[in-house]
Amino acid sequence: MKIGLLYSLTGPRAEMERSIFDGAALAIHEINADGGVRGAELECAVFDDRSEVGLSVAGIDHLCGDEGVDIIVGGYTSASRVAMIPAVHAHRALLMYPTYFEGEETDHRVFYCGAAPNQYLADYLGWIASNLGRRVYVVGSDYIYPRVLAEAVQRLGGRWNVETVGNRYVPLRETSFTEVVRDIERVRPDVVVSNLVGLESTTAFYTEFHRAGFDSATLPIAATVTTPIDLEHMPPEVGDGHYMVGTYFSTIDSEANRTYRRSLLAVRGQRRAHAAQVGAYNAVHAVRLAAEVARSTDAAGIAEALLGIRFDGNPEGLPFCFRSNHYSAHPSYVGRAGGGEYDVVAEFAPRLPEPWWLSRSPLFAAL
């Protein structure tokens, strides 16, 4: 059996997406060390889209057409996912998308291995209101994920009397935040919710924020995207003490996570672990389990079998499985940055995935 891996291994997104690739590659290594798939080695074909959304589509065409794969594990940004889906349909393939994202989508050829917002943002807002303050200033990159998250903050905020007192967007890869920081100084919120995406923008904002005299004690940042990859590029005084929500942090105290971290370092040489990387790891293991029980290894057979699998080695701390809507189950955590990692300071029970939650009453039902 062969699967395709499609990531930005060069270009501006390379550092982040190489780390996600490492999660998928580790799973392939583990599967082959355990006998492969139905007694044969799990092979992979790799395509580098060079951080260009247009090349993501070319990657699907190459992997499905030239390499003959039916299953692709890949994509990071919502822009790349949306661009790839028509090509996935054209080739009658499946996309295993590893990243938590904005939801508001269902597609029978996509399996969503990361969380929908109602699985991580709802409890996070309640925690922010109780621990950091109720007047929030939202800053994000100017595309679909940050805009949907900002709308969610406004819609859900009333449940905890959270008020959005500022809302700013900047272009992707923006590195100048002078006007944003001045506006934050003017408004004086209790907390800044950061939905900035990308290493350049995230590190630039945190740095300029710190230079303006703010720190986690005077005005905490509560992020939804700032990963350990980003923290590694910040001095401790810039990043330490700020917060992040995630379905996974590397400091989760479980045997599955300790095993994962040891293997990630030993096999891939990767020290940094984060939720999207774990999503790719779980995706590959899920495909293996589905192939073991499917009547065939084509896309249709795998898709049917994926709805019945359960991967107990999930580093998140919850057995990994899919619901009938192709979304997966996840716990959520709040982490506080320190030394380039996040220490878990709060943990929430897993919630039923609701992809269309913005168009309905918010769901808070636990699994």
Selected residue with higher pLDDT from 132 and 351: 132
Q: Using the 8-state DSSP alphabet, how is residue 363 labeled?
A: P
Cα separation, 286 vs 117, in Å, equals 22
What single-letter amino acid sits at 91? H
Nearest to 70 by CA among 86, 88, 83: 88
- Residue pointed to by tokens 């896309």: 299
Structure confidence by residue, pLDDT tens digits, 270-297 = 999 999 999 999 999 999 999 999 978 8
User: Burial level of 146, CB count in 10 A (0-12/13-18/19+)?
Assistant: buried
Q: Is a pLDDT exceeding 80 seen at residue 366?
A: no
Q: Using the 8-state DSSP alphabet, how is residue 77 labeled?
A: S
Q: Which helix (H) or strand (E) holds 90?
A: helix 78-90
Cα separation, 360 vs 58, in Å, equals 36
Mean pLDDT, the chain, rounded, equals 95
Q: Using the 8-state DSSP alphabet, how is residue 326 labeled?
A: S
The mean pLDDT value for 82-108 works out to 97
- Residue pointed to by tokens 């994202």: 101
Nearest to 117 by CA among 78, 65, 170, 168: 78
pLDDT on residue 360: 61
What single-letter amino acid sits at 153? V
pLDDT on residue 361: 53
Nearest to 101 by CA among 357, 365, 361: 357
Query: Which of the four pLDDT bands, split at 50, 70 and 90, describes residue 117?
Result: very high
Structure confidence by residue, pLDDT tens digits, 162-188 = 999 999 999 999 999 999 999 999 999
pLDDT on residue 359: 67
**What does the chain come to in residues?**
367
User: Burial level of 273, CB count in 10 A (0-12/13-18/19+)?
Assistant: buried
pLDDT on residue 295: 77
pLDDT on residue 61: 98
The packing angle between helices 14-33 and 255-268, to 10°, is 100
Q: Is a pLDDT exceeding 60 seen at residue 363?
A: no
The three-class DSSP label of residue 327 is strand
